């Protein structure tokens, strides 16, 4: 499985640079990286390398070992509003003898055409009074806090799954035009759902938020460890509690239309090291 993955990397011609003196091989996927993608960085190290560190876009990278070999991996979240351009990835390897070797690689982030979506809502759902604005601000602060508390262990295993089978009714990243006024980009994917349909956790993790919020209604956030979180919004009922461990596929609650919503659906979102990324790029992870 491991060797298959490596050969795929080599065959696809992914930037695969070799630092001869320490034989540090670095490769990443997908080959063309766009705004909102999850970038998987694989590093194959020589024997005798004790630790690996890295940096990208001013954030420290921490690697985890893939199986028991000498292959290390980290996931980088490319926020949907990252400026397109070329960014430097720095990887440092430290050997047992204390020698540090640095590799520098250029990662190009391409612009993605997310498109736009016009939505008409009753004015009172768009124009918020002062009290509601304050409530929304407080809620945003509370949710933002979650992204700052990254667990160093990885709780997910294997592939991620869609929380339910519904079709996409509003894609990731579209520019929302509410009652003719341009608003924020859509930071998740809206999936069609029947009222009361079961919503399942995309992978194993720990529930870190159960709350009813102004915009997202009854909401659940699952922490999968290592800075990766999935979000499930507008539920009609929540069946889990904060602090509870959940398995992949475990029911978190039932679909609904709570919060600012015009009909039953699931808003499914993903955060990776505080970057808003496309949930469908999570499904592509091996
Ligand atoms: Zn949504």
Please indicate, yes or no, whether residues 47 and 124 belong to a single structural domain of this protein.
no
C-alpha–C-alpha distance, residues 255 and 246, integer Å: 18
Residue where one domain finishes, among candidates 110, 129, 147: 110
Please indicate, yes or no, whether residues 175 and 104 belong to a single structural domain of this protein.
no
63 CA → ligand 1 middle, Å: 31
In angstroms and rounded to an integer, the radius of gyration of the C-alpha atoms of the chain is 20
Please indicate, yes or no, whether residues 74 and 144 belong to a single structural domain of this protein.
no
Please indicate, yes or no, whether residues 194 and 63 belong to a single structural domain of this protein.
no
Number of domains in the chain: 2
C-alpha–C-alpha distance, residues 19 and 219, integer Å: 46
186 CA → ligand 1 middle, Å: 6
Per-residue confidence (pLDDT) for residue 286, from 0 to 100: 80
C-alpha–C-alpha distance, residues 86 and 3, integer Å: 29
The 59-62 sheet, strands edge to edge? 33-34, 100-110, 85-95, 49-56, 59-62
216 CA → ligand 1 middle, Å: 8
Please indicate, yes or no, whether residues 22 and 70 belong to a single structural domain of this protein.
yes
Please indicate, yes or no, whether residues 102 and 162 belong to a single structural domain of this protein.
no
Please indicate, yes or no, whether residues 14 and 154 belong to a single structural domain of this protein.
no
Per-residue confidence (pLDDT) for residue 3, from 0 to 100: 38
Cis peptide before 30 (omega within 30 of 0): yes
56 CA → ligand 1 middle, Å: 28
Per-residue confidence (pLDDT) for residue 1, from 0 to 100: 39
Please indicate, yes or no, whether residues 130 and 250 belong to a single structural domain of this protein.
yes
Q: Say if residues 64 and 226 touch (Cβ distance below 8 Å).
A: yes
Per-residue confidence (pLDDT) for residue 96, from 0 to 100: 84
Please indicate, yes or no, whether residues 103 and 120 belong to a single structural domain of this protein.
no
- Greatest alpha-carbon pair distance for the chain in Å reads 67
Residue where one domain finishes, among candidates 64, 90, 110: 110
263 CA → ligand 1 middle, Å: 11
CATH number where 81 lies? 2.60.40.1930
68 CA → ligand 1 middle, Å: 39
Per-residue confidence (pLDDT) for residue 48, from 0 to 100: 82
Please indicate, yes or no, whether residues 142 and 268 belong to a single structural domain of this protein.
yes
- Tokens 């496309």, residue? 278
232 CA → ligand 1 middle, Å: 10
116-119 and 175-178 beta bridge pairing: parallel
CATH number where 171 lies? 2.70.70.10
Per-residue confidence (pLDDT) for residue 22, from 0 to 100: 55
189 CA → ligand 1 middle, Å: 6
For the chain, the residue count is: 286
Residue where one domain finishes, among candidates 57, 81, 110: 110
CB under 8 A, 24+ apart: contacts of 7-13: 9/42
Per-residue confidence (pLDDT) for residue 181, from 0 to 100: 84
Please indicate, yes or no, whether residues 100 and 163 belong to a single structural domain of this protein.
no
C-alpha–C-alpha distance, residues 188 and 191, integer Å: 10
266 CA → ligand 1 middle, Å: 7
Please indicate, yes or no, whether residues 121 and 233 belong to a single structural domain of this protein.
yes
16-19 and 245-246 beta bridge pairing: unpaired
pLDDT along the chain (286 residues), means of 10: 38 43 82 96 88 94 86 96 97 88 94 92 82 95 94 95 96 90 92 98 98 97 97 98 98 97 96 97 92
* Domain housing 91: 2-110
Per-residue confidence (pLDDT) for residue 262, from 0 to 100: 87
């Amino acid at each position: 499985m491991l060797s298959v993955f490596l050969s795929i990397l080599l065959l696809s011609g992914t930037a695969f640079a070799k630092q001869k003196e320490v034989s540090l091989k670095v490769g990443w996927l997908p080959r063309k990286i766009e705004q909102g993608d999850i970038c998987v960085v694989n590093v194959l190290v020589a024997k005798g390398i004790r630790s690996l560190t890295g940096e990208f876009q001013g954030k420290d990278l921490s690697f985890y070992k893939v199986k028991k070999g000498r292959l290390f991996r980290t996931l980088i979240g490319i926020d949907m509003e990252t400026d397109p351009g070329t960014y430097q990835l720095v990887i440092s390897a430290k050997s047992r003898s204390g020698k540090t070797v640095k590799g520098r690689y250029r990662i190009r982030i391409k612009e993605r055409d997310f498109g736009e979506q016009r939505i008409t809502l009753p004015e009172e759902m768009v124009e918020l009074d002062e009290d509601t604005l304050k409530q929304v601000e407080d809620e945003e602060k509370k949710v933002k806090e979650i992204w700052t508390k990254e667990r160093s262990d990885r709780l997910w295993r294997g592939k991620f799954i869609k929380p339910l089978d519904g079709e996409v009714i509003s894609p990731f990243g579209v520019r929302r035009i509410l009652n003719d006024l341009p608003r924020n980009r859509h930071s998740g994917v809206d999936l069609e759902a029947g009222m009361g349909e079961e919503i399942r956790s995309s992978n194993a993790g720990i529930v870190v938020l159960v709350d009813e919020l102004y915009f997202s209604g009854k909401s659940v956030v699952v922490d999968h460890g290592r800075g990766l979180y999935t979000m499930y919004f507008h539920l009609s009922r929540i069946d889990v509690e904060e602090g509870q461990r959940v398995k992949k596929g475990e029911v978190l609650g039932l679909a609904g239309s709570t919060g600012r919503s015009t009909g039953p659906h699931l808003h499914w979102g993903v955060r990776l090291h505080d970057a808003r990324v496309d949930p469908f790029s999570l499904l592509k992870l091996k």
